[in-house]
Amino acid sequence: MAQNLQSLSSTIKVLVGGNKNIVIEKWFSIMLFTKKNHLVGLDIGSRTIKAAEIRGLKKDAGLTLKRFGTIDIPRGAIEEGSIKKPEEIVDAIKLLFKTYGIREHNVAVSIGGYSVIVKKITLQSMTEEQLNKTIHFDAEQYIPFDINDVNLDFQILGNIENTDCMNVLLVAAKKEMVDGYISLLEMANLNPCIIDVDAFALQNIFEINYESKNENVALIDIGASKTSLNILKGKDSVFIRDVSLGCDQINQKIVNLVDCTNDEAEQIKFSENTDRISAEDLTEIVTTVVTDWCTEIQRAVEFFYSTYPDDPIKTIFLSGGGGNIKKFRQLLATETTAKVMTINPFKAFYLDKNSFDSSYIKQIGPQAAICMGLATRRVDDK
């Protein structure tokens, strides 16, 4: 940001805006004694923590997946992005790093949900330097929090033709959430170098793995308790929304029907044959829940079309646990009339066959997308 705080020894940066890297910088006097610039991507979800470490900067330079692993955390440890049981999460992170031999301590994490606001706004045209001086005043009407309680930044998207106005991407993250994740990582003896936004971490890994066709694309991540939607117009993110819907809804309905544990419900959900629940009952549960997902997504898409009525979304890429649900893919394609695909975040990466089981990588791919997007970040990103 505009502030020059060179007296402090290092930065923790909240990077948003895809590869354009809007930067919300939060400064701390934490020493980073390392010459390496790569980071471990650490996706701290409400049910599972994922970690990834890659080598290489660009596709033509040879991207290699060095390490990838996951570990489950207890239910209730994180709720709606808020850390409720930090000690249990810290123990899980330490075990994850130990189990998969991850020694790098510089990490990139991401946040999302209602504590993060991303809005495209229109302001009078001005320079970036001028906007730096007025952004807190300009942003106040768009942020549903006390402006003093958020980390704030922006990116000028460009002037609007035949007007004296410009489009600006405004991003605000509640300081309380950012501070909570920083504290958590420090407890785990990690250096939190970058805090990204879920939707933009997903955008980064999409752009690395898929060629731009200059068409509108929707990136939808369906996690355990939260769904993130990011609509790209070309390479620009023009619409972002998070909603409190996720795979736990299916699990809970299974638990209520067959009186099992949540872990058992997770297994039942993806089982083709089980004596715990009939195929008909499971189909009905999944169909009911994913229909709700599609309804909410369709509302967001219609809102996008109200601004861009002549720009149809051609392709939808799904990630997260919900990306593996066939019924959801089929129903969403019907509802939106778009091509629906499951993202492969490993597509552009070399994977040693002796280190990674191909069937596991295929299965875990959708859930690894945000983590892989974070792993593409570098300590010196600006």
The pLDDT tens digits of the residues spanning 128-149 come to 999 999 998 999 999 999 999 9
pLDDT of 320 reads 94
Q: How far apart are CA 377 and CA 319, in angstroms?
A: 19
| Buried/exposed code over 251-278 (b: 16+ C-beta within 10 A; e: otherwise) | bebbbebbebeeebbbebbeeeeeebbe
pLDDT of 127 reads 93
Calculate what percentage of the chain has a pLDDT beyond 90.
58
The pLDDT tens digits of the residues spanning 171-208 come to 899 999 999 999 999 999 999 999 888 998 999 999 99
Mean pLDDT of 55-72: 80
Secondary structure percentages of the chain, helix, strand, coil, to 5? 40, 30, 30
Q: Domains, the chain, ranges and CATH?
A: 10-209+347-375 (3.30.420.40), 241-342 (3.30.420.40)
Element (H, E) at 52: strand 48-55
Quote the tokens at residue 233: 């117009």
Q: How far apart are CA 323 and CA 202, in angstroms?
A: 13
pTM, entire model: 0.85
DSSP result, 248-262: HHHHHHHHHHH---H
Calculate what percentage of the chain has a pLDDT beyond 70.
88
**Per-residue pLDDT band at 31 (split at 50, 70, 90):** very low
